[in-house]
């Protein structure tokens, strides 16, 4: 760039930086990197204080990758003292952390400043970088005149660690004359780096109600048997923060005792003492609805360890929160029959949502009591509850309920209520799960299931016959093929379609004659299912069948046939050249079929497929052209990828972006002049970002 053009560019950037449009300012920041460091650096530092966070983020990104060792970090550290503009200060902090270990010497040198706020920010930045090279400096900062800086230094050492960090924080934590905030940070830092501390020396910290919870956390991380009594005293505390932190510490302590014998001995000791504390379960139960997420997890696990029957329903209630559902379920499942015994007396009194959630628990536990409770749920009028119960039957392998499930399958299939679809799906899944369990246990369940289903075929309505065919297909027994073939003659096309899917599952490696007959079915949905099945077959003999379907009247069937040919080529059943020739006509088809052709070419892979995809670049549909570009980028030779060059000026932003990124990824260097010219006129911010990344990649 000559002096004259450089001057014009600088003037243009300065003009845009003063624009009221934040997007114009952001793009100006991106362009600033084209200037020399002397011009760009002050502009970028100024942009750190822009009113728009997007502009500030762009300035941070440009500064982080700028090549001006020393100068940039000095400017950024200076920006930390901008008390009038928190945006600039925070952005400068973000940039320093992003620059990593190379700025540590400059940060350490700047710690000599008299500005307390800057010293604290520098310590925080060293923590964010996380390099142990800063550890000696952070240890020294524990003696800073300002307690906020000392506390920040303790926090930082808890993140960075390193030689001497634990000892230095221990001195702070045990110093009764030190500021409480500093001691608190030191205790938490010791817990983070799991530095051992002598329990007998923590009496002073335990007497301070503000420090006591942090001591409990530390003991959970590093304590041994000698910490149990201290934590149990905390569990008995009337102060909620002390009680809950002590409970968390005990659970963490137990988790660390991996030896089974030692763990069981310690757990028995904890349980004996904890159960003797009056009102402890009730206090935990009362706190469950209102505590923060981390505390609720701790309370659920602790109540689970106590196995207090009164806590079963409250734990289930807590599990309504999606973030707690799994910990609540797994905790109660660990009780086994004990949880169900506590739940059974109140089962009918629970609201529907809670009973549905309880069904998941019942399925996990299983057993005779589980079967009785699930039978009750399957008889309820609510379809959502019945669906939950059906899923639980499959998980819990409650084989005695299989006849009831088959009966409910027929009812759910013909029920017009929306929730019945969920119930049908759940019942199908449960029946299949029971049949597959039979494959392991060989207890005759699969045969009994097929018999129950077959008995209903002659009298069932079409929706129920569809459900029966679905189950038969998923059970997948070769001896049931005649029954499924019979369904291919059903008057309802939905039943015939389900039968095709079932037959395909029975014979995944071939294409039976009944399946071929389905290719001529009057229903397009049946032909579509057959085409999909042929595409998944493992026999080259079906290629001619698929080729004929490319001329089908229905575009969905044609698309499935094209994809099927692509799958066969990908698996080596037919050569890529032959497959490309077979789907040649599809490349000129409607959007759906042409898109299927691109997917087929992508599945085949290789230069020949990429060359075929070039024919689609002139199509008017942007999504189709974009898919073709992606295929060419993945499989084409560099010369073929170069054919994307005209798309740099395509009318669709998505195509322009895809083409530019693809040529950059494939290192098509001859595209640089055209991409640069496009940058001058490009208005779309996403494409401009793509162009800038592409140019950087191609110029590296």
Per-residue confidence (pLDDT) for residue 145, from 0 to 100: 95
- For position 3, what pLDDT does the model report? 45
What is the DSSP secondary structure assignment for residue 455, as one 8-state letter?
H
Domain borders along the chain are: 352-506, 627-700
| Integer Rg of the chain from CA | 35
**Which single residue is written with the structure tokens 């027994």?**
477
pLDDT at 2: 44
Residue for token pair 């699969």: 446
Nearest alpha carbon to residue 492 among 530, 453, 520, 460: 460
6 confidence band (pLDDT: 50, 70, 90): low
Determine the average pLDDT of the residues in 211-217: 96
Using DSSP's 3-state secondary structure scheme, residue 321 falls into: coil
Please tell me which residue, 126 or 491, carries the higher pLDDT value. 126
Per the listing, tokens 């073709």 go with: 628
- pLDDT tens digits, one per residue of 140-178: 999 999 999 999 999 999 999 999 999 999 999 999 999
What is the chain's mean pLDDT, rounded? 89
Give the tens place of pLDDT for each residue, 545-567.
Answer: 888 888 889 999 999 999 999 99
- The residue with greater pLDDT, 631 or 406, is 631
Query: Is the pLDDT assigned to residue 4 strictly greater than 50?
Result: no
Say how many Å lie between the first and final Cα of the chain, rounded. 18
The helix/strand/coil state of 69 is coil
3-class DSSP state of 636: coil
Six-digit token pair at 489? Answer: 């003659």
Instruction: Please say whether the structural domain 627-700 has been given the CATH code 1.25.10.
Output: yes
| Mean pLDDT of the 41-63 span | 91
pLDDT tens per residue across span 558-607: 999 999 999 999 989 889 999 999 998 899 889 999 999 999 999 999 99
CB 150 within 8 A of CB 168: no
Q: What is the pLDDT of residue 455?
A: 82
For 503, the token pair is 């037959």
For 344-398, the three-class secondary structure string (H helix, E strand, C coil) is: HHHHHHCCHHHHHHHHHHHHHHCCHHHHHHHHHHHCCCCHHHHHHHHHHHHHHCC
Token reading at 62: 């440009």
**SS3 letters across 41-87:** HHHHHHHCCCCCHHHHHHHHHHHHHCCCCCHHHHHHHHHCCCCCCHH
Determine the Cα–Cα distance for residues 343 and 310; give it in Å rounded to an integer: 9
Binning pLDDT at 50, 70 and 90, where does residue 438 land?
A: low
CA distances from 480 to 442, 450, 483, 484 (A): 17, 8, 5, 7
Q: What is the DSSP letter of 571?
A: T
Comparing 321 with 418, which gets the higher pLDDT? 321
Average confidence (pLDDT) over 51-80 = 89
Task: Specify the DSSP class assigned to residue 606.
Answer: S
Common-topology check for domains 352-506 and 627-700: yes
Distance CA 690, CA 93 (A): 27
Whole-number Å distance between alpha carbons of 162 and 137? 11
Task: Count Cβ atoms within 10 A of the Cβ of residue 672 and give its class: 0-12 exposed, 13-18 middle, 19 or more buried.
Answer: middle
Residues 395 and 393: their CA atoms lie apart, in Å, by: 6
- Which of 112, 110, 59 has its CA nearest to residue 80? 110
**Cβ–Cβ under 8 Å, residues 60 and 95:** yes
CB-facing half-sphere around the CA of 521: CA atoms within 13 A: 28
* Pairwise pLDDT comparison (652 vs 418), residue with the higher score: 652
Architecture label for domain 352-506: Alpha Horseshoe (1.25)
CA–CA distance, 30 with 39 (Å, rounded to integer): 13
pLDDT tens, position by position, 671-689: 999 998 898 888 888 898 8
Query: How many residues appear in the chain?
Result: 700
Question: What gap in Å lies between CA 491 and CA 472, rounded to an integer?
Answer: 18
The dihedral sign for the CA sequence 102, 25, 650, 566? positive
CB neighbourhood size of 485 (10 A): 18
């Amino acid at each position: 760039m000559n002096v004259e053009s450089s001057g014009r560019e600088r003037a243009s950037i300065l003009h845009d930086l003063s624009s009221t449009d934040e997007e114009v300012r952001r793009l100006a920041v991106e362009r600033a990197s084209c200037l020399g460091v002397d011009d760009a650096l002050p502009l970028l530092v100024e942009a750190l204080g822009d009113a728009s966070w997007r502009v500030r983020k762009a300035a941070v990104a440009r500064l982080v990758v700028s090549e001006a060792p020393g100068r940039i970090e000095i400017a950024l550290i200076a920006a930390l003292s901008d008390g009038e503009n928190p945006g600039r200060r925070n952005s400068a902090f973000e940039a320093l952390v992003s620059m990593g270990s190379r700025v540590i010497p400059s940060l350490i040198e700047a710690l000599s400043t008299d500005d307390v706020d800057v010293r604290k920010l520098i310590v925080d930045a060293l923590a964010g970088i996380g390099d142990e090279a800063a550890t000696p400096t952070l240890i020294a900062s524990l003696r800073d005149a300002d307690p906020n800086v000392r506390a920040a230094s303790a926090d930082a050492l808890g993140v960075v660690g390193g030689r001497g960090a634990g000892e230095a924080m221990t001195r702070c934590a045990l110093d009764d004359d030190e500021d409480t905030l500093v001691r608190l940070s030191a205790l938490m830092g010791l817990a983070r780096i799991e530095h051992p501390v002598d329990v007998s020396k923590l009496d002073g910290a335990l007497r301070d109600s503000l420090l006591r919870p942090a001591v409990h956390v530390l003991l959970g991380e590093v304590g041994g048997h000698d910490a149990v009594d201290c934590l149990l005293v905390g569990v008995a505390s009337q102060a909620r923060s002390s009680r809950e932190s002590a409970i968390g510490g005990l659970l963490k302590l137990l988790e660390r005792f991996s030896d089974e014998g030692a763990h069981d001995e310690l757990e028995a000791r904890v349980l004996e003492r904890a159960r003797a504390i009056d009102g402890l379960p009730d206090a935990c139960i009362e706190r469950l609805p209102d505590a923060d997420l981390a505390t609720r997890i701790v309370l659920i696990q602790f109540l689970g360890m106590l196995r207090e029957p009164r806590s079963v329903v409250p734990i289930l209630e807590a599990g309504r929160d999606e973030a707690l559902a799994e910990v609540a379920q797994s905790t109660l499942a660990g009780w086994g029959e004990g949880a169900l015994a506590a739940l059974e007396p109140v089962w009918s009194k629970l609201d529907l949502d809670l009973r549905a959630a309880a069904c998941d628990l019942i399925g996990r536990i299983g057993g005779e009591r589980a079967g009785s409770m699930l039978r009750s749920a399957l008889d309820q009028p609510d379809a959502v509850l019945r669906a939950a119960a059906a899923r639980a039957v499959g998980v819990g392998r409650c084989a005695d309920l299989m006849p009831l499930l088959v009966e409910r399958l027929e009812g759910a299939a013909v029920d017009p209520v929306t929730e019945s679809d969920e119930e049908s799906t759940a019942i199908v899944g449960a029946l299949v799960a029971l049949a597959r369990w039979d494959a392991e246990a060989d207890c005759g369940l699969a045969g009994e299931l097929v018999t129950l289903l077959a008995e209903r075929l002659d009298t069932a309505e079409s929706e129920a016959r569809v459900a029966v065919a679905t189950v038969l297909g998923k059970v997948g027994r070769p001896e049931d093929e005649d029954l499924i073939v019979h369904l291919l003659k059903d008057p309802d096309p939905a039943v015939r379609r389900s039968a095709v899917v079932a037959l395909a599952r029975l014979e995944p490696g071939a294409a039976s004659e009944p399946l071929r007959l389905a290719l001529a079915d009057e229903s397009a949905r049946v032909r579509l299912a057959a085409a999909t099945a042929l595409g998944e077959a493992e026999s080259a003999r079906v290629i001619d069948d698929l080729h004929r379907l490319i001329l089908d009247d229905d575009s969905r069937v044609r698309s499935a046939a094209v994809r099927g040919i692509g799958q066969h080529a990908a698996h080596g059943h037919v050569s890529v050249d032959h497959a490309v020739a077979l789907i040649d006509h599809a490349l000129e088809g409607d959007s759906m079929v042409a898109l299927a052709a691109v997917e087929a070419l992508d599945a085949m892979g290789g230069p020949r497929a990429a060359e075929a995809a070039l024919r689609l670049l002139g199509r008017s549909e942007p999504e189709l052209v974009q898919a073709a570009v992606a295929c060419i980028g993945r499989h084409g030779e560099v010369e073929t990828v170069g054919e994307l060059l005209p798309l740099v000026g395509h009318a669709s932003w998505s195509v322009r972006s895809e083409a530019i990124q693809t040529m950059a990824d494939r290192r098509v260097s001859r595209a640089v002049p055209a991409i640069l010219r496009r940058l001058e006129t490009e208005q779309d911010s996403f494409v401009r970002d793509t162009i800038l990344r592409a140019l950087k990649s191609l110029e590296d």
